[in-house]
Amino acid sequence: MIQGEFVIPNKLGLHARASALLVKTASRFASEIRIEREGIEVNGKSIMEIMMLAAGKGSTVVLKVEGPDDAEAFAAIGELIRNGFGEE
């Protein structure tokens, strides 16, 4: 398992568009992807579960990836988060 902490940098946090991009990216991989915030852990391939985290700008989330392509999945999702989901 690979895991690491990320701070949500974009203005609106994990709103619908950002959550959809995260799910779209996560769904490309076979590995299990989990996102945790303040002790609540959700499926990284479920937009509804991700949005329930209510992770606003500045929130810290833990990305956990386990499976056959975990390194690639962790890198892709980590880059997406660090780049603010492509938002200004």
Report the 10 Å Cβ neighbour count for 25.
Answer: 19
CATH number at residue 78: 3.30.1340.10
CA-CA distance, 36 to 34, in Å (whole number)?
Answer: 7
Predicted pLDDT of residue 87? 84
Report the catalytic residues: 15
pLDDT tens, 1-35?
A: 999 999 999 999 999 999 999 999 999 999 999 99
Task: Please state, in angstroms and rounded to a whole number, the distance separating the CA atoms of residues 31 and 54.
Answer: 24
Domain that holds residue 44: 2-86
Please check whether residue 61 is in contact with residue 33, taking contact to mean a CB–CB distance below 8 angstroms.
no
pTM over 0.85: yes
**Digit-coded pLDDT (tens) for 29-68:** 999 999 999 999 999 999 999 999 999 999 999 999 999 9
Based on the structure, what is the number of domains in the chain?
Answer: 1
